[in-house]
Chains A and B, each alone.
Chain A
Amino acid sequence: MPRSAVIILTGPARAVKISDDSGRCNCTIPGLQAIPLIDGGAALYVVDGEHAQIRYDVVAGDGTVGAPGQYRWGFRTPGFVALVTAAATARPDQLAAEHLGTCRRAVSIALPPDAPPKAFQLQLVGLPNAGHPLRTVTRQFQLDDLPIEPSQRLSARLDDGGRELHLTNHGPTTTALLTTGSCGNSGSTACSVTIEAGMTTVLRPTSWPSPGAIRFEVRDTPTSPAHRWGRLTA
């Protein structure tokens, strides 16, 4: 399992805290190293090893509260990219890279209890894996207008070589617009998806690189078998 990842934050925002699941902050987190950039417009970290969670608390940068423009936060491993886009606000967005260094790596979005509701864009990309000459397909899932409520946490990960998107919703039922496709391929499709409260929703296009219908499953927990299933069409 590849164990290194790069985490990046760009745009009119800054991380007021970077912490892990043990309560350690910033440079006390083992394996986390800042990478200086020449123009200073982004914060870049490299992280090595297994981590249950590396969390960024992201707020609007100095003097930019209410200013137009959105920030981007994301992380990349050799086979996986997660990218969150949102408007920078005064209350921190809690964005986390989870289970880094394992095959269950995921991204999560949460808001503190006293924050106003907010819409995010979430993008997950499965990259061609580890230099295999025949693995050239990049598979991409994008959730637009994804509303997150205070105290809600939504986590997302890819499975089956990037063919499946798993969304676990610790909060109220949420609806978002899903676009799937392959990079470099114009045949993408969009449909509205409901992410049920307290459940794991698994979404899988029936074919690549031009996804048609999307098969969905609803599970009680991320690892339990589905108790409801069916198909979504654009």
Chain B
Amino acid sequence: MPAPPPLTPGQPDPVMLFDIALGPGATPSSQAEVTGLAVDDRAAYLLGPVVGESTQLAVVDKLGQATTAGQLSIAGRWTEISVLPGPDRSLLALLGSGQLGIHDPVSGRVTTVFLPAQARGLAADIDRRLFYVGLEAEIAIVDPDAGRRLCGIALPGGPTQLGPPEQLLCAENGTLVALLGGAEGAAVAIVEPNASQAEVIELQNGPRSLCYDDRSGLVFLAVDATAIEPAGVAVIDRDSGRRIGGVIQTSLSPASLTLLRCGPRTHLYASVPGAGLEVIDVARRAVVGRLCAVWVGAFAAADQAAGELYIADRFAGARRILPLIGGSPIARHVTRNSSTEQITPPLSGPRTTPDGSTEMQKFDIGTVVASTDAGAVIVDPTHAELWLSSDGPAPGPASAADQLGNPVGDTIAEDDHLVTYFERGLMVTTPVTGGPTTVAVPRFEASFNIGALGVADELEFLLGREQ
């Protein structure tokens, strides 16, 4: 056997970023930066600025249009925002000086919960339907449905005099993480779900902000440059409380960090106001994508289900960020089918398919679905919409995706029909008066012609030439 040839090292696949400005109705006030940002599956919520004794709030749908709730002016000075999605409506929490406002954007009703004046740091626990607020020596728990403050979680003082939380976040699994800052040092406090006490990791230098990955147990800190290390992201292992490796270098000090996951990939988005947005591959500990733009602001929020990021525009409103993972089956297939040399911008972020096995992403040519067996295929937009609907072609509770399986090829034109083949069925759009009709027809799995099989044929059979 010949010796293996030397390996030619390569670069990691880049993450390309495309931004869409939210529409005209999205801007709370012209030429004014938002001061807070939250997002759920319904809309993006843009807080700020304060005008007189009221704070502007814009509710913007995912296409960038102001919703019926539109632009609101809420009495009081509110500085932070968080959202709790619900089956019928979302509830917003607005944190101001000494009070928490629980706002129903549909009815316009605001319930006020009074807190100590130094309250800072706001997070939502979606599974438990709770809001958390950082106070001097504890994290207050607020029940938004009852509109009242419940018990609190004590924060330890530690050897250094730590102040109230500067930032509070709640991970997907309910773990609370607080960045504590003070005159003599800083620390990260971590509270597991249902725990009454926090564990504290002391830090050498006060970071600007933090982010937590509950799957890996890693804490990411946005740090300034020091005499020995560049500005960037420091990584701490939560179990050992120790730094892992050196700082992952970014162009300048990040103002905020946001985690976005899709499938096995975890990317960290570092906002560097005035310079741009940088994507860090957590596993590779390297910057793998960059959007250079002076409009990038400090505030960002991730829509995990949609695989998208929303980021404040320093000049007005906010923008929607759509990542495209270079080198992925989706990106390769779109490039192969592009009529130009330019990469086609996506219309959505990469999302997990209904069966959870792989990914899909919307483009103007259709929804590209990547599966293990078929690879990436382009599905006609109307077929993709029906495939993702809750009602399947056959009666019963199973969704269309459950009944049909994944698409196995690009949507094709056959005579006058538009046909998409799925693992267990197909969709046909027939042009008729009044518009297209879409039907789904069950198909049988490929059959094995085993009755005609002889021993001499086994290799041909196994190589798939028998059918």
Can you list 18 A-B contacts (CB < 8 A)? A1-B405, A37-B454, A37-B455, A42-B455, A76-B464, A78-B445, A80-B373, A127-B464, A134-B410, A138-B464, A159-B372, A161-B373, A175-B4, A192-B1, A226-B284, A230-B10, A231-B8, A232-B8
Q: Is A74 an interface residue (CB 8 A)?
A: yes
Residues of A within 8 A of B412 (CB): 133-134
Contact (Cβ within 8 A) A192 B450: no
Residues of A within 8 A of B264 (CB): 223-225
Contact (Cβ within 8 A) A103 B375: no
Residues of B within 8 A of A228 (CB): 9
Looking at the assembled complex, report how far the CB atom of B281 sits from the nearest CB atom of chain A, in whole angstroms: 7
Of residues B265, B443, B446, which shows the largest number of chain A Cβ atoms within 10 Å of its Cβ?
B446
Contact (Cβ within 8 A) B357 A233: no
Q: Is A193 an interface residue (CB 8 A)?
A: yes
Q: Is A35 an interface residue (CB 8 A)?
A: yes
Interface-facing stretch out of A2-10, A49-57, A61-69, A89-97: A2-10
Residues of B within 8 A of A131 (CB): 421, 443, 446
Residues of B within 8 A of A35 (CB): 450
Residues of B within 8 A of A161 (CB): 329, 371-376
Contact (Cβ within 8 A) A1 B409: no
Q: Is A19 an interface residue (CB 8 A)?
A: no
Looking at the assembled complex, report how far the CB atom of B284 sits from the nearest CB atom of chain A, in whole angstroms: 7
Contact (Cβ within 8 A) A74 B462: yes
Looking at the assembled complex, report how far the CB atom of B51 sits from the nearest CB atom of chain A, in whole angstroms: 46
Please report the C-alpha to C-alpha distance between residue A37 and residue B264 in the assembled complex, in whole angstroms: 44
Contact of A163 among B284, B375, B408, B409 (CB under 8 A): B375
A-B pairs with beta carbons under 8 A, tally: 157
Q: Is B7 an interface residue (CB 8 A)?
A: yes
Can you list, as one digit per residue, whether each of A153-197 has a CB less than 8 Å from chain B (1) or not (0)? Answer: 000001111110000000000010100000100000001111000
Please report the C-alpha to C-alpha distance between residue A224 and residue B464 in the assembled complex, in whole angstroms: 32
Contact (Cβ within 8 A) A129 B2: no
Q: Is B385 an interface residue (CB 8 A)?
A: no
Please report the C-alpha to C-alpha distance between residue A51 and residue B374 in the assembled complex, in whole angstroms: 21
Residues of B within 8 A of A88 (CB): none
Please report the C-alpha to C-alpha distance between residue A9 and residue B147 in the assembled complex, in whole angstroms: 69
For chain B, the count of residues having a C-beta within 8 Å of the partner chain is: 51
Contact of B408 among A6, A37, A130, A159 (CB under 8 A): A130
Please report the C-alpha to C-alpha distance between residue A123 and residue B61 in the assembled complex, in whole angstroms: 51
Contact of B10 among A39, A74, A215 (CB under 8 A): A215
Please name the 3 residue pairs, one residue from A and one from B, whose CB atoms are nearest each other, closest first: A161-B375, A132-B409, A41-B455
Please report the C-alpha to C-alpha distance between residue A196 and residue B458 in the assembled complex, in whole angstroms: 32
Q: Is B398 an interface residue (CB 8 A)?
A: no
Looking at the assembled complex, report how far the CB atom of B327 sits from the nearest CB atom of chain A, in whole angstroms: 9
Contact of B375 among A74, A104, A160 (CB under 8 A): A160
Q: Is B358 an interface residue (CB 8 A)?
A: yes
Please report the C-alpha to C-alpha distance between residue A225 and residue B284 in the assembled complex, in whole angstroms: 8
- Given known pairs A1-B423, A39-B455, A192-B5, the reply for A103 and B372 (CB within 8 Å) is yes
- Given known pairs A83-B462, A175-B1, the reply for A76 and B10 (CB within 8 Å) is no
Contact of B450 among A39, A44, A103 (CB under 8 A): A44
Looking at the assembled complex, report how far the CB atom of A85 sits from the nearest CB atom of chain B, in whole angstroms: 9
Please report the C-alpha to C-alpha distance between residue A104 and residue B358 in the assembled complex, in whole angstroms: 11
Can you list, as one digit per residue, whether each of A11-29 has a CB less than 8 Å from chain B (1) or not (0)? Answer: 0000000000000000000
Looking at the assembled complex, report how far the CB atom of A179 sits from the nearest CB atom of chain B, in whole angstroms: 13
Contact (Cβ within 8 A) A81 B358: no
Contact (Cβ within 8 A) B409 A76: no
Contact (Cβ within 8 A) B357 A225: no
Residues of B within 8 A of A6 (CB): 448, 450
Looking at the assembled complex, report how far the CB atom of B401 sits from the nearest CB atom of chain A, in whole angstroms: 12
Contact (Cβ within 8 A) B446 A78: yes
Q: Is B432 an interface residue (CB 8 A)?
A: no
Residues of A within 8 A of B373 (CB): 1, 79-80, 103, 126, 129, 161
Contact of B283 among A129, A215, A227, A232 (CB under 8 A): A227
- Nearest chain-B residue to A176 (Cβ)? B1
Residues of A within 8 A of B3 (CB): 192
Please report the C-alpha to C-alpha distance between residue A83 and residue B283 in the assembled complex, in whole angstroms: 34
Please report the C-alpha to C-alpha distance between residue A192 and residue B5 in the assembled complex, in whole angstroms: 7
Q: Is B461 an interface residue (CB 8 A)?
A: yes
Residues of B within 8 A of A183 (CB): 463-465
Contact of A134 among B357, B370, B409, B453 (CB under 8 A): B409
Looking at the assembled complex, report how far the CB atom of B442 sits from the nearest CB atom of chain A, in whole angstroms: 13
Please report the C-alpha to C-alpha distance between residue A4 and residue B464 in the assembled complex, in whole angstroms: 15
Residues of A within 8 A of B409 (CB): 129-130, 132-135
- Given known pairs A104-B372, A160-B376, A227-B283, the reply for A193 and B461 (CB within 8 Å) is no
Residues of B within 8 A of A216 (CB): 7
Looking at the assembled complex, report how far the CB atom of B88 sits from the nearest CB atom of chain A, in whole angstroms: 35
